[in-house]
Amino acid sequence: MSSVIAPTPDGVDQYFWDGVARKQFLLQKCSACGALRQPPAPMCSECNALEWETQEATGRAKVYSWLVSHHPTEPDADPRIIVVLDLEEGVRFVANLVECNLADIRFGLPVELTWVEYPSMNREAPQILPQFRPTGDAA
> What count of residues does the chain have?
139
CB of 28 to Zn ion, least distance (A): 11
44 near Zn ion (CB under 5 A): yes
Backbone angles phi, psi at 4, to 5 degrees: -130, 160
Cβ closer to Zn ion: 3 or 48?
A: 48
Reduce the DSSP state of residue 131 to 3 states and report it. Answer: strand
Neighbours of 83 (CB within 10 A): 23
Reduce the DSSP state of residue 16 to 3 states and report it. Answer: helix
Which stretches does DSSP call E strand in 3-109? 26-30, 36-37, 52-56, 60-69, 80-87, 92-97
Among residues 1, 32, 41, 121, which is the contact residue for Zn ion, using CB under 5 A?
A: 32
CB of 91 to Zn ion, least distance (A): 13
Q: By CB under 5 A, what part of segment 45-74 binds Zn ion?
A: 46-47, 49
Q: Which stretch binds Zn ion (CB under 5 A): 26-34, 65-73, 88-96, 100-108?
A: 26-34
- Alpha-helix residue ranges (DSSP H) falling in the chain: 14-21
Largest CA distance in the chain: 50
Q: Which stretch binds Zn ion (CB under 5 A): 37-45, 85-93, 103-111, 125-133?
A: 37-45
CB of 29 to Zn ion, least distance (A): 9
27 near Zn ion (CB under 5 A): no
Cβ closer to Zn ion: 37 or 100?
A: 37
Q: Residues interacting with Zn ion, by CB under 5 A? A: 30, 32-33, 35, 44, 46-47, 49
